Amino acid sequence: NAGVTQTPKFRILKIGQSMTLQCTQDMNHNYMYWYRQDPGMGLKLIYYSVGAGITDKGEVPNGYNVSRSTTEDFPLRLELAAPSQTSVYFCASSYLAGQWDEQFFGPGTRLTVL
Amino acid sequence: DAKTTQPPSMDCAEGRAANLPCNHSTISGNEYVYWYRQIHSQGPQYIIHGLKNNETNEMASLIITEDRKSSTLILPHATLRDTAVYYCIVRVSGAGSYQLTFGKGTKLSVIP
């Protein structure tokens, strides 16, 4: 299994541009998440999904959109990029089985908005 | 979710046990203690979690005090590859609880 994969690894955007960060998992997990991590800080939840067709906001959703058309994919869309969105973005997935819900993280996408 | 308090940094000699403390004095009865770590620039990695009993797996041991207000993550024989930021997270586990709330964690440096 490849686990959770993310593309691209790095990206530089100009202010006002848009882009989609891709996330795919091959573990058949029902839950998927997007986090952002600013320098020296912990991760903050942007959006999450509990299954195909179901998404919900996390702690910091403004400026982002998500969709979940399949179990495997959970893309994150940035519209009108702003410097405040410069961050490292991590996608994660988990399979809830009772109280066992370990989250598996991807390698991250480092985004700079200039 | 309850908040946690961790020291910002710790050093440990290679081959020795690393003991990372975490205070969670406001933990609720249904909240678990989770530990994740983040090796430089990588995604966080799950280590271990527990409710009230001590837990051990192939990576670490988790010791939770009887009153559950604090816990200690133990890496029994630290290696250079264990140098990372370690996050203690308290959360309700299961359906309806999706967010991992990461603080700043403890930066563990394993020294040769």
List, for residues A62-87, the tens digit of each pLDDT value: 999 999 999 999 999 998 999 999 99
- Contact call for A101 and B94, based on CB within 8 A: yes
Nearest beta carbon to residue B98 from set A33, A100, A108: A33
Tens-place pLDDT, residues B25-79: 999 888 899 999 999 889 999 999 999 989 999 999 999 999 999 999 999 999 9
- Nearest residue in chain B measured CA to CA from A47: B99
- Contact call for B43 and A92, based on CB within 8 A: yes
Spatial CA neighbour of A72 closest among A34, A28, A106: A28
Write the CB contacts of A59 (distance below 8 Å, at least 6 apart in sequence): A44, A45, A46, B99
Chain A nearest C-alpha distance from B6 (Å): 13
Spatial CA neighbour of A73 closest among A34, A23, A28: A23
